[in-house]
Amino acid sequence: MSAQTPASESSAPAAAPRPRLLTGDTPTGQLHIGHYVGSVRRRVELQDTHESYILLANMHAFTTRAEDPDGIRRDTIEIVRDYLAMGLDPEKCAIFVQTEVPAISELTFLFSMLLPFNRVMRNPTLKDELQVKGLAETYSFGFPLYAVGQTADILAFRAHSVPVGEDQIPHIELTREVARRFNQLYCGVDPHAEDEEHESLGGVFPVPTADVGSVGRLVGTDGVNKMSKSLGNTIFVTDTPKQIRKKIGGIYTGRQSMTEPGDVGNALFDYVRTFIPDPERVAELERRYAAGDDIGDGHVKVEVAEAIAELLEPMKERRAKYEGNDDAILEILRDGCIRANRLAEETLALAKDAARLKYFDRELRYV
């Protein structure tokens, strides 16, 4: 049998289809190093092994900034510059704009019928946002809807994997529930089926998993909260070494002297472990700090700041190539949107067919 296998087949077996991933960001401003270590770095690795779709959640940005459409548009373009700077390759992944993929909105409406309202409101990430952003009684109807929309972002691409930061896990859990429910209701998948079996049992949607990077959450330079633009505790790709030194210098540790035994669980040492690439150096710094072995916080801070500046240097160079050139960015987005729609339209047709909503075939194209 094997002797008859043609040479071409044995030397180059048909490649198995790559697993698909979808992830994205809400354009709320420039990306910072928290985004990089929390998720973009992982995407850069995965773009070689996965069919990758990266979404700019510009509709979601309207949940908190509906009065600033120009700002949202500007940030949407700016974030692509940061992606390219951080190493995402538009040849390898489709980078696209949420609102240019209508299948997402259509699926959002359908999925919103499959989720109890109370279930959506129990989402701890939504609750946190309401609190942190002080939205209390003033949030829009669309605010909780965005969580449903996120399930559609993911499922429109029948993604298997969703690389995200830790704070997004509740959204992925909601997505898994929608996928299971849809497959059970409309595709005849048995309620006791394992998640991994849904596709092979005829479900339209795989039940996706969250892929949380090794640093799920980077503490901000305030040393307390998650790094977040709205809290002003960030380091941006575009920051100069001087700005970085200043920001890192501001991390409060409460330690008084070079000989005081320090707490290596503090925010400064989170940075040491995240950004100093040499594990032996990290271990050495930890040992000396914990022992109060003649090592000042200022010293550690300088070393951390240098490591971050070094990491950002090649990113800045890449970013500079696209500075002031919005047309090049739009071209990348256009290509990404075309690829995204190809898949999302196919998914929508399958979903509509399953839910008995499909009457006609349709085609979508940009002119």
Of 17-25, 64-72, 134-142, 333-341, the segment contacting ligand TRP by CB under 6 A is 17-25
Q: Is 24 in the site for ligand TRP (CB under 6 A)?
A: yes
Contacting range for ligand TRP; rule: CB under 6 A; set: 1-9, 148-156, 323-331, 350-358: 148-156
Min separation Cβ 98 and ligand TRP, Å = 7
Residue 134 CB, nearest approach to ligand TRP (Å): 17
Rounded Cα distance between 351 and 69, Å, is: 32
Residue 86 or 309 having the CB closest to ligand TRP:
86
Q: In b/e form, how buried is each residue of 320-356, taking b as 16+ CB within 10 angstroms? A: eebeeeeeebeebbeebbebbbebbbebbbebbebbe
Cβ neighbours around 4 below 10 Å, total: 6
Binding residue for ligand TRP (CB under 6 A) from 20, 43, 50, 60?
Answer: 60
Nearer to ligand TRP, 38 or 203 (CB): 38
CB neighbourhood size of 277 (10 A) = 10
Told to check if 94 binds ligand TRP by CB under 6 A, we report: no
Residue 228 in the binding site for ligand TRP (CB under 6 A): no
Residues 203-222 that bind ligand TRP (CB under 6 A): none
Query: Binding-site residue total for ligand TRP (CB under 6 A)?
Result: 14
Shortest spacing between CB 34 and ligand TRP, in angstroms: 11
Q: Least distance to ligand TRP from the beta carbon of 209, Å?
A: 12
* Contact pick of 75, 78, 129, 153 for ligand TRP (by CB under 6 A): 153
How many whole angstroms from its chain centre is CA 355? 30
Distance (Å, whole) CA 55 – CA 52 = 10
Q: Which residue's entry shows tokens 């960001």?
A: 25
Nearer to ligand TRP, 102 or 241 (CB): 102
Q: Is 162 in the site for ligand TRP (CB under 6 A)?
A: yes
* Contact between residue 335 and residue 100 where contact means Cβ atoms under 8 Å apart: no
3-state SS record for 180-220: HHHHHHHHCCCCCCCHHHCCCCCCCCCCCEEEECCCCCCEC
- Part of the chain binding ligand TRP (CB under 6 A), chosen from 18-26, 77-85, 128-136, 309-317: 18-26
Task: Find the shortest distance in angstroms from Cβ 167 to ligand TRP.
Answer: 8
Residues 6 or more apart whose CB falls under 8 angstroms from that of 236 comprise 30, 31, 32, 33
CB of 115 to ligand TRP, least distance (A): 16
Residue found by looking up tokens 């919103």 in the block: 112
Closer Cβ to ligand TRP, 26 or 183, answer by number = 26
Q: Does 25 bind ligand TRP (CB under 6 A)?
A: yes
Q: Residue 212 or residue 295: which is nearer to ligand TRP going by CB?
A: 212
Contacting residues toward ligand TRP, per CB under 6 A:
22-26, 55, 57, 60, 150, 153-154, 162, 164, 168
